[in-house]
Structures are given as structure tokens and as C-alpha cells.
Amino acid sequence: MAQERERGITIQSAAVTFDWKGYRVNLIDTPGHVDFTLEVERCLRVLDGAVAVFDASAGVEAQTLTVWRQADKHKIPRICFLNKMDKTGASFNYAVESIREKLKAKPLLLQLPIGEAKTFKGVVDVVSKEKLLWNSSSVDGKDFERKPLLEMSDPKLLKETTEARNALIEQVADLDDEFADLVLGEFSENFDLIPAEKLQTAIHRVTLAQTAVPVLCGSALKNKGVQPLLDAITMYLPSPEERNYEFLQWYKDDLCALAFKVLHDKQRGPLVFLRIYSGMIKPQLAIHNINGNCTERISRLLLPFADQHVEIPSLTAGNIALTVGLKHTATGDTIVSSKSSALAAARRAGREGEKKHGQNSEAERLLLAGVEIPEPVFFCTIEPPSVAKQPDLDHALKCLQREDPSLKVRLDPDSGQTVLCGMGELHIEIIHDRIKREYGLETYLGPLQVAYRETILNSVCASDTLDRTLGDKRHLVTIELEAKPIETSSVTPVIEYAEGVSEDILKASQEAIENGIHSACLQGPLLGSPIQDVAITLHSLIIHPGTSSTMISACVSRCVQKALKKADKQVLEPLMNLEVTVTRDYLSPVLADLAQRRGNIQEIQTRQDNRVVIGFVPLAEIMGYSTVLRTLTSGSATFAVELSHYEAMNPQDQSTLLNRRSGLT
């Protein structure tokens, strides 16, 4: 994407497919920025293994923790790659230590760097005791030589490597019984004799069991260390056949795939990324979407290579495909070959389910677990350049929402604005930029208008008379009513009639009266916000014969407004439920900041090493909170908000708000 090239960051996950030494690899590059957590979530959902890339000078950063936890949740085996070994300040030992401490993982050092920062020129393969040196004149890192370490040429390096290899063997033997038997049996005298293949298979088993993570290093900018990383991926990470998915047994060899991402292409329409778990996919194939309960046809099948796509005649299980022609499929949908195949699988699952434990819903077990979508934390309004462009904007937002389920769009009924809800400022900024570039619409982002409400604090009576002659008709209405506050929360006014009001008048003009009351309560006397928690009692009503219903409504409405103006008025503001997860070190600045935002802390819980602050904060104070919170906590805290209820503002805040609205401050 143009935005990615400008900013130098990943925003959307991109897929490439390539072959390496006889293996087919489907690689997905995911973003690391906290605003695009959903991209990571939906890709981890369909992958078999992961390479976690660290900056060797920074070690484990805040977002690394988040992504690591996501991988734990999906039980993904992974390899760590310490990148930027040639950057000033890079430290192999520091980075490994931070993996051990912060991620609570056991690093298996399969490589040692030769030199660090400016002096980095290659790596030592600990398993095979070879050194790999990159040619300094080669630009793309293709030229490197592999030499065995010899006592004569590198005595110091050989000693270090032997120690590292012995430590590695002990670590693996602790975690893998089969390897431990081998080590204690044949090779207990001399670890040097253990063949590299035996050690590699043991590391493969330990990685799959997720009891430890292999660590490699290099510099991606110069392509140093990338070839051994690819070898390690094919050697230690699982192939699709080694991942055991419970649902596959019901499908036998029928097609079963999960749609995990949708992209919109100007020419081809929606492109859907599918991970194929079983069976095979071909163009012109009719498929059945279990979630949407609809049948669609795949018109073309493509293999993704970043922004180029290659058309292919078929694709088998374990691969990632790009399909053209699926109009209704969205992220998280399960795709099968036909409805009957789904029913057959359901029957198999049902029989199995009865054997194990009573019947649980068949359809549910057939659906592959979808993708959990995080709640939005950042809100702002979006306006088209003119009313005529509103349908175009709606279409653009609809397409973007389908691509990115973490973007929510809603219409605010109170202010009539289109509200964008996203994962952070950068997320919304990118969406805004994409609407401009891809859909050619100049939109305006505005701060969220807070939808206040109003109420009254005491009961008041008012009377009004309307006397008009229009043409030869006289319209005359005299009314007396009372407005009073009520305890129960009610958005619309509660309407009561006193005994003195005659039944006949009510029959004829009840609708007009109620319309008048409702329209009066849409705009309060203080801010013009809707009135709530109010009861209106009609005491007397005299209507001259021939008076039109519009006049009755107008009179009632005017009288209600009069009563509301007389009463003591109160502004109600929306309060948000807020939950902040923060480490102990940053707890006090977060609490201090919430106090400034008129926050009301309910409780502080402990969750592992973190503190969870739970409380209420006014919506008006939450603008831009995601950015402030990340700044305060160096990006380590996360938070979630949702609308809780409306609450009365205190007198100082209310007068500040009224002065600001009337332009006095």
C-alpha cells in the first residue's frame, strides 16, 4: 500500500507463496502496530507456525508481548529471529535475556553472531559447528560461505560454540525424553559425537510441543542470516500435516476452508483469502458458506505474491489461496464444497459427539472457530464533502468494513452524524487516507459530538392559550399541564391525563396532543439536547370546535417548553465503562491522568503481573485517550470502553459546558 511505503510500517497483512529447497511455504507478514491487532489475530488463526521478529537492540517491546499472547492463545509453535544485528546498540545477549524474562519462554540458541553492531559479519551454526560469513561486497546477501570451525583458524570461536552446543543439548534433553535416552545412552561420554540430524529432530519435537523456542539472528536489510532462517522454518516449524485439527476428521477428504481476510480490488471486486484445511479448490467451483448459509461460485483462483497475483488451476490442503467471485463471504466464514457435504460431516460429528458426551449442536462443531474482533477504543465523526457524495461515502465505508472488521461505522441518532469507531488514531487516519486515495473522496474527520441529554429537577405547572383566525376559521386551544421529574430512566416522556380531561376530547385529539409533547421533548431548554426522565400530566384542555390538529400540537408543544424553561434544569452526560490493563510501574501516572479526566475508579484488580483499573469516565473526556495512555505507559497498557449510562453533571462542569456552548469561554 502507498501508506505503508510512506510510513515504512506494515498496515495490512500481505501474503506471499514461495518454494524453498523443495518445500512450499505460505508466508503472511503481519503488522506490529497496536492499532492493527486484528490483522495479527486473524492471520494467527489460520497459520501453523510463526517467526517472531525482534529488534536486537530493543529486545521484547510492548507490542511483542501482545502478539506473543495471541500466539499462545492459538497454540502456535514459533521461532525467534533477532533482526538488526548490524544496528548500533544491538546486543544478542540482552535480546535473549529479555525473551527469557518478559515472555517467560525458554530460548534455544541455535546460532551465535560473529561480531555485533558495526562489526556484524556472519553467524555460527551451533548445531553443525559451522560459520557462515556473508560477502561484504554482495548487495542482496546471496553470496555467503559456509566453513567448518577449525581449531587452527578460530580457536576462541570454536570453544564458545562447543560450550553453546553442549548447553543446547542439555536444554533439549531436559525437555524431550526420547532425546534424553539417546544422550545418556550412546553419547554420555562425548556430546560432540551426537549427529546434527538427531539434535535437529529433537529441536523440532520441542518446538512443536511449545516448551521452548529456537532463536536465530541476522540482519534482514542486508539479507544476512535469512537463508539459515528459511532452513530453520522448514526444519523446525510444523507442516500442515503435523497440526492436529479436531474438525478435519468429520470432513474426510472433502473441502473445508476458512475465509480469513477480504480485500477489495478495483477491477476484480472482493478478493477473499482462504486457508484450505482439507480437500482441494478449483476455479468455477460452487462452494457453500456455512455461516452465511449461501452457495457461491469461485470464478478464478490466484496465488498471492504481495501485490501481484498468479492465476493457478487448483490448490490443495495446507495452502493459502486468493479467490475471486465470492460476493457474500466475510472474515471468519467456514467454506465447504456443498450443503450435503456439510450435513454429512455434521452427521459424523453428531455420532462421535454422542459417544463422547451428550449431543451438542452439530452446526457449531462444523464451524471453524471464527476470529475474535476487539472492541473499538477510538471514536470520531466523518463527513462527506457534500450531501450528494454521502452514498459514495457509505459505499466506501461498507467496503472498508468488510475488509477490516475492527472498523465499526454507526449513525448517531441524536446528532445525525456518521461515527467511525476504530482501534486508535493511526487506524482512523489510515482509513481516512484510503477513502481519499482509493475512492477519490475528500472527507472531513471531526471530533465526536457528545450526545448530552437533559432533565428537570422539580415539578412545574404551565398554561397556554392559542387563539388564531385563519381565513374564516377560528382555532382556539387552552391548556394546563404539569411537568415533573421521575425516578425510572425513560428516554421518552411519560404522558398522564388528569381526571378533569374529558374522554371525548381525548378520543378526537390524543394523537395530536402526544405528538406535541414528544416534539417539545426533543430539544431541551439548555443545550437543545433530548429531554429524558420526565412525566407530563395534562390537567385541563379546552378545544374550540373546528380547531385543526396541527394547532393543538403546536399549543401543547409551546406549553411543555414553557414548563421546562421554568423548572430547574440539569444536563446528563454519557458515562463510559473503562477497563485499563497496566503494569504495576505505570499504575500511578494512569490513575493521576484518570483523575484529571473526572474518572471515577470502582476497583483495581490484580491479573498476573498486571493491574486492571475498572471505573467510569465521561465520554467527553475520552477523546484521544488511546494516544495519551500509550505515551504515559510506553505503549504497554491496553484499555476497553463501552457506553454504560447517563449521569447528572456536577454544577461547575455544567456551567463550564454551557459557557463553552454559548461562546463565553
All three cell numbers of 463, joined, read 398554561
C-beta of residue 30 within 8 angstroms of C-beta of residue 39: yes
**374 vs 39: CA distance, rounded Å:** 11
**52 vs 601: CA distance, rounded Å:** 37
All three cell numbers of 556, joined, read 401543547
**483 vs 458: CA distance, rounded Å:** 8
Residue 309 among known ligand-binding residues: no
Residue 86 among known ligand-binding residues: yes
Tally the C-alpha atoms within 13 A of residue 179's C-alpha that lie toward its C-beta.
Answer: 23
Residue 190 among known ligand-binding residues: no
**155 vs 137: CA distance, rounded Å:** 27
**262 vs 326: CA distance, rounded Å:** 10
What is the 8-class DSSP label of residue 148? Answer: E
Residue 289 among known ligand-binding residues: no
Q: Please report the DSSP string for 10-65 in residue order.
A: --S-EEEEEEETTEEEEEEE---SGGGHHHHHHHHTT-S-EEEEEETTTBS-HHHH
Tell me which residue of 56, 51, 61 sits closest to 94, measured CA to CA: 56
Residue 485 among known ligand-binding residues: no
Helix (H, G, I), strand (E, B) or coil at 616: strand
Angle, vertex CA 267, rays to CA 261 and CA 268, nearest 5: 45
Question: What is the distance in angstroms between the CA of the first residue and the CA of the last residue of the chain?
Answer: 44
Residue 374 among known ligand-binding residues: no
Residue 472 among known ligand-binding residues: no
What is the 8-class DSSP label of residue 450? Answer: P
C-beta of residue 329 within 8 angstroms of C-beta of residue 261: no
Tell me which residue of 17, 12, 105 sits closest to 54, measured CA to CA: 105
C-beta of residue 228 within 8 angstroms of C-beta of residue 215: no
Pair type for strands 315-316 and 280-281: antiparallel
**431 vs 67: CA distance, rounded Å:** 23
Residue 589 among known ligand-binding residues: no
C-beta of residue 424 within 8 angstroms of C-beta of residue 627: yes
Tell me the CA distances in angstroms from 236 to 118, 208, 209, 279, 599, one per residue in order.
Answer: 30, 8, 11, 25, 50
All three cell numbers of 523, joined, read 430539544
What is the 8-class DSSP label of residue 400? Answer: H
Place of cell 461460485: 297
Residue 106 among known ligand-binding residues: no
C-beta of residue 614 within 8 angstroms of C-beta of residue 601: yes
C-beta of residue 575 within 8 angstroms of C-beta of residue 659: no
Tell me which residue of 652, 645, 642 sits closest to 598, measured CA to CA: 652
As annotated, the binding site for GTP includes 29-33, 83-86
As annotated, the binding site includes 29-33, 83-86
